[in-house]
Amino acid sequence: MIREPILNAVIMAALLAVPLWALWAGEPFTITLATRAAILALAAVGLNIALGLGGLVSLGHAAFFGIGGYAMGILAHHAQTYTPLMEAPFLIEGTKSMPVIWLTAIVAASLAALLIGALSLRTTGVYFIMITLAFGQMLYYFAISWPTYGGEDGLSIYVRNDFPGLNTLRPFPFFAISYVALAVGLFLSWRIAKSPFGLALSAARQNEARVRTVGMDPYRLRLTAFVISGAITGLAGALFADLNRFVSPTMFSWQMSGEFIVFIILGGTARLFGPVVGACLFVILEHWLGGLSDYWLVFLGAILLLVVLFARGGVIGALAGREATHD
C-alpha cells in the first residue's frame, strides 16, 4: 500500500511530466490529450464534492458543464462577430478575455446550481438522480432549439481566448492554465473536506438524523455543497469549450453527466484524486482503445464492472487502501 498523499503527488507530477515530455519531443497532440484529461478531471473534482463528500448522486452535472461552455461560447461569439450581447438597459459586449469568461461561467453555473439544487434537494435517492437528470435534459433541449447560438450545430470560436501574458494558441500554455485550474480545484476540494462544513456534510451523507440532532440543517449543507460543486464544474466547462474552440449541446447531454460519475467511480469515490485518476484513465482508454475499435466503450464498461465488483474504493482505494479518518 502506498500512502495516499504520496500517491496523489505522483499522479499530479505525472500529469505535468507527460506534456512536458511531449513539448520536448514535439508531440502537440499528447499535450492536447493531457489538457483534455486535466479539464475533465476538474469537472469531476467539482462533482465529487457533491457526490463523494455529500452523497448526492447528481446525474445532471452536465448542466453546469454546458452552462460554463456556453458562457464561453456566447461571450466569444459576440466578440468575434463584433455584435453586442445586449444594448438595453445597458450595453454588454462580448469578450475574448479568459478571466472574464471564467468569472461569468462560475457565476452562471452557481446560480443554476442554486436553483436546480434548491428544487432537487427536496428529494433523495433515485428521485434526486431523476430530477437532476431532468434538469440536465431540459437545458440540453433548450440549447438544441436556440438558433441564436447555433442550435444543434453549436458555436465555433475561431481563435482561442486570451489570457494576459500567455500565448494561449500554443498547446502548452493552455495546458498550464488548465493544470493550474485543476490544482486550485483540488486545493479547494481538499480544504472543504477537512473543514467544519466538510465534516458536517460528510456526516449528513452517513446519517441525516445524526446531523439534525446536533442542530444542523442537512438541506442547507447539501445546497451549499451543490452550488460549490456546480461552480467548479462550470469553470471546467468554460475551459473545455476553449480547448475545442467549439461548444455544442453535447456538453449538456446526460452521457456527459454519466462520464463524470464514471471518472469518480473508476478513480475512487470521495477520494481527493479519484476524479483525476478516473479522467486520465478515461482519456487514455478513449485514445488507445478508440483507435482499435469504435466500440471501445464496451471495454470501458467491462473495466468499470471489474472496479465496482472487486475494487470498491476505485484505483486510489486499490493502491492506497482505506482512507484515514483523520491525523
Query: Are the CB atoms for 63 and 112 separated by under 8 Å?
Result: yes
Grid coordinates of 33: 490529450
Residue placing its CB nearer to other proteins in the complex, 192 or 319:
192
Pick one of 145, 210, 284, 321: the residue that binds other proteins (CB under 8 A).
210
Does 145 bind other proteins (CB under 8 A)? Our answer is: no
* 8 A C-beta contact, residue 226 and residue 234: no
* Whole-angstrom distance, CA of residue 311 vs CA of residue 265: 10
Q: Name the nearest CA neighbour of 323 among 221, 182, 190.
A: 190
The least CB distance from residue 47 to other proteins, in Å, is: 18
Specify the residue, 90 or 326, whose C-beta has the smaller distance to other proteins: 326
Q: Which range of residues in 14-22, 150-158, 210-218, 275-283 is near other proteins by CB under 8 A? A: 210-218
At its nearest, how many Å lie between other proteins and the CB of residue 220?
A: 8
Cis link prior to 89 (omega < 30° from 0)? Answer: yes
Least distance to other proteins from the beta carbon of 325, Å? 4
199 lines the binding site for other proteins (CB under 8 A): yes
Q: Hey, is 260 helix, strand or coil?
A: helix
What character string, x for contact with other proteins (CB under 8 A) and - otherwise, covers 165-194? --------------------------xx-x
Q: Which is nearer to other proteins, 51 or 74 (CB)?
A: 51
Q: How far is CA 67 from CA 142, 234, 320, in A?
A: 12, 6, 35
Which chain residues interact with other proteins by CB under 8 A?
A: 191-192, 194-200, 202-203, 206-207, 209-217, 220-221, 224, 228, 325-327
